[in-house]
Amino acid sequence: MTRPADATTSGRAYTAPGITVYYDAVRCRHVANCVRGLPQVFDPQARPWIQPAHAEAEAVAAVVRTCPTGALHYVLEAGPAETPDPTTTISPLPDGPLIVRGDLTLITPQGLVREVRAALCRCGGSSHKPYCDGTHDKIGWKSDVQPSSES
């Protein structure tokens, strides 16, 4: 099997002493765990909106780990890589994607990708599969409506 690529360094890099934060905008579902967790670092009104120098590197990493979609990752200069959850969990969001955490290998158009957190498309409409890109909102997809069966 081909060795999977690491998702960690996908997206735009925001570097400060001790840590680089990576942000992949298309995977962000605006859950705002980051903004609530460290508003002085993750501030949508500021430019750049991520300023990791405004907190201790390990505190920034801890908030990044709460990002459910995998839009955020980090590399610590002198610290370990993020450890995947020991148990893989899959939680459906109402009218939205599947939130997956664990030691994941995703099959993507670019090849295999190693991940620890991801929001995976459940509506079928994403242009960025397997990731959710927010299309479910635009098309008004409802998870509790069953497809009609023809008889």
Binding site for ligand FES (CB under 6 A): 96-97, 121-123, 125-126, 132-136
> Which residues in this chain contact ligand SF4 in the complex, by CB under 6 A?
28-34, 67, 69, 71-72
Give the largest CA-CA distance in the chain: 64
Rounded to a whole number of angstroms, the minimum distance from the CB of residue 100 to ligand FES is 12
Backbone φ and ψ for 43, nearest 5 degrees, come out as -130, 105
Which of residues 52 and 134 has its CB atom nearest to ligand FES in the complex? Answer: 134
Q: 50: which DSSP letter?
A: B
CA 145 from chain centre, in angstroms, equals 26
User: Which of 40, 61, 62 has the alpha carbon at shortest distance from 51?
Assistant: 40
Rounded to a whole number of angstroms, the minimum distance from the CB of residue 101 to ligand SF4 is 13
Single-letter amino acid, residue 96: G
Rounded to a whole number of angstroms, the minimum distance from the CB of residue 30 to ligand SF4 is 5
Which of residues 33 and 143 has its CB atom nearest to ligand FES in the complex? Answer: 143
| Residue 41's binding partner out of ligand FES, ligand SF4, none, with CB under 5 to 8 Å set by partner kind | none
Q: How far apart are CA 92 and CA 89, in angstroms?
A: 10
CA 59 from chain centre, in angstroms, equals 18
Which of residues 5 and 26 has its CB atom nearest to ligand FES in the complex? Answer: 26
Rounded to a whole number of angstroms, the minimum distance from the CB of residue 50 to ligand SF4 is 9
